Structure 1
Amino acid sequence: MLEAKLTQLHTLFQEMDRALIAYSGGIDSTLVAKVAYDVLGDRALAVTAISPSLLPEDLEDAKIQAATLGIPHHCVETHEMNNPQYTANPVNRCYFCKSELHDTLKPLAQEWGYPYVIDGVNADDLKDYRPGIQAAQERGARSPLAELSITKTEVRQLSQHLGLPWWDKPAQPCLSSRFPYGEEITIAKLQRVGRAEVYLRRLGLQNIRVRSEKDTARIELPPSEIKEFVLTTDLPTLVQAFQALGFLYVTLDLEGYQSGKLNRVLELASSSA
């Protein structure tokens, strides 16, 4: 089954001839970049958008991975923070983010002779509330993983099959996803939550989130790691570090990390309507 999906991906890119990849450094877009480069060579280009919602550490990872793949890599700045429709953080915030991204990438692709802009949306993404997908589709972007019904699990399996050392890399959506809908997003807030997550990563924790609500930081870990975290972490030092970043309160989510938790408020609102 995996070989069949990989063959389909190869065929899809062979039909494109040239492609520009919206490349974040996440596992999805990295797999797409890998296959595109295997098929197209230097006729594939990976482009990473730099903005305050991307950690410098994640940008560095993206550069290292692109260099490892061998694919040509270019960085551009996006300016979604200049859009009040984005910074107000409405429920469709991602629509404005992806609009900015693809309004930046599409002209570049046309100028540089790439007929296709490709993203890393997978089949599972289509099942969640992802308004950014609509923005990409409106601007003509293609999503090979979703088109071929390749799921997140299959993305990891294919990545491992192809020998990519980051096949089990945790998902790392943009930092704006750490804030509840309706709370204004600022560069200072993004930097604060970003530095908090880097602090936890340096403790050896990987699949984590720091959810920020006003002056409170809520740490989310996989449920299986919560007990060990409480027993082995120097909690007073951690709290002091978070407070030095500007948080007043530091809490631990006892339910643990679950993808899509931010959208529960939408489900609640829908059921109450």
Structure 2
Amino acid sequence: MESLSQKFEKLKTLLREMDRVAIAFSAGVDSTFLAKVAHDTLGDNMVAYTVQAGMVPEREIAFSREFCKLHGIPQQLIEVDEMQVEGFAENSRERCYFCKHNLFSKITERAKAAGFSTVCEGSNADDIHDYRPGMRALQELGIRSPLLECGLTKADIRELSHQLDLPTWDKPSFACLASRIPYGEPISREKLSMISNAEQLLFELGFKQFRVRLHGNLARIEVLPEDFNKVLEKRDQILAAFKKIGFTYISLDLQGFRSGSLNETLATKQV
């Protein structure tokens, strides 16, 4: 079994072999680590592309800009109207495939026009264990996943990020806001905005790992079990804010936060 240092060296060697690399940079734990290592390894032979869309909270875009500016990483923003992506608003179980195919087609087009022949993204070795139809789109478009290719797990990436003193080493996991809406329930800009505003409130209240799942006019709050009491302490503030946002009913999921919880229905329900 390869050691962590061996995996890290393997990653840097792989990036050097790619020569000129474009990184899809979402400001999450994985892509932040990949962008930093790519820049440290390749210098000006790399660029970070960040998608700006309604399914991405503004705080994530702001963080990406600040990080790139601080570390001298060249960054380009790509504005996308996800509601115009065929198959996105219908929200079938293949939504992520349609969305990823569209987004990475745009990134690839922009990258190649700028002379970057290889586009990379931040999937890691743990991501193969969940339902991720977007991975098929990446394979079809020839997008590379260096972290996965080098066998780096989420825990590995957090540890190496800590060693590199990256602020994301303990950043909670995040996924696009569309993943908060059950498959089969249509997506709209209004729904994405409601989810974004609700999660921003939880962020401002000091919660770190959370999701607000939308079920019609009901908000289902997922936080870590150890934060249940904090939700109850902030109950009145949360209720007032969520009602103002537009939710009629607000619930706390007693199972607590779990990534991809809406995929739990896939084994029993076909959409």
Q: Same fold (TM over 0.5)?
A: yes
Could you tell me which residue of structure 2 aligns to residue 222 of structure 1?
A: 224
Name the SS for the 1:217 alignment partner: strand
In structure 2, give the amino acid aligned to 1:94: C
| 1:17-166 paired onto structure 2 within 5 Å | 17-166=19-168
Q: For 1:206-247, what per-residue CA distance to the aligned partner results, in whole angstroms no more than 9, with x for missing partners?
A: 1111011110001100112213432x22x1232111011110
Q: Which moved more, 1:108-117 or 1:78-87?
A: 78-87
| Residues 78, 104 of structure 1: 8 Å contact kept | no
Unaligned runs of 5+ in 2: none
Name the SS for the 1:262 alignment partner: helix
Could you tell me which residue of structure 2 aligns to residue 254 of structure 1?
A: 254
CA-CA distance at 1:197 after TM superposition: 0.4
Aligned CA distance change for structure 1 residues 203 and 266 (closer, same or farther; 3 Å): same
TM normalised by structure 1 equals 0.95
Q: Write the distance in 2 (CA, Å) between the matches of 1:108 and 1:127.
A: 31
In structure 2, give the amino acid aligned to 1:245: I
In structure 2, give the amino acid aligned to 1:243: K
Name the SS for the 2:160 alignment partner: helix
Could you tell me which residue of structure 1 aligns to residue 17 of structure 2?
A: 15
Q: Percent identity?
A: 42
| Residues 54, 82 of structure 2: 8 Å contact kept | no
Q: Write the distance in 2 (CA, Å) between the matches of 1:237 and 1:145.
A: 41
Matched, 1:169 2:171: yes
Could you tell me which residue of structure 2 aligns to residue 236 of structure 1?
A: 236
Q: Write the distance in 1 (CA, Å) between the matches of 2:103 and 2:158.
A: 25
Q: Which structure shows the bigger proportion of residues in helix conformation?
A: 1
Q: Write the distance in 2 (CA, Å) between the matches of 1:17 and 1:147.
A: 17
In structure 2, give the amino acid aligned to 1:161: Q
CA-CA distance at 1:84 after TM superposition: 4.2
Unaligned runs of 5+ in 1: none
Aligned length in residues: 268
Q: For 1:108-144, what per-residue CA distance to the aligned partner results, in whole angstroms no more than 9, with x for missing partners?
A: 1111100100000111111111011110110010000
| Residues 83, 89 of structure 2: 8 Å contact kept | yes
Q: For 1:163-211, what per-residue CA distance to the aligned partner results, in whole angstroms no more than 9, with x for missing partners?
A: 1122110111110000000111011110111000001111111111101
| Residues 79, 100 of structure 1: 8 Å contact kept | no
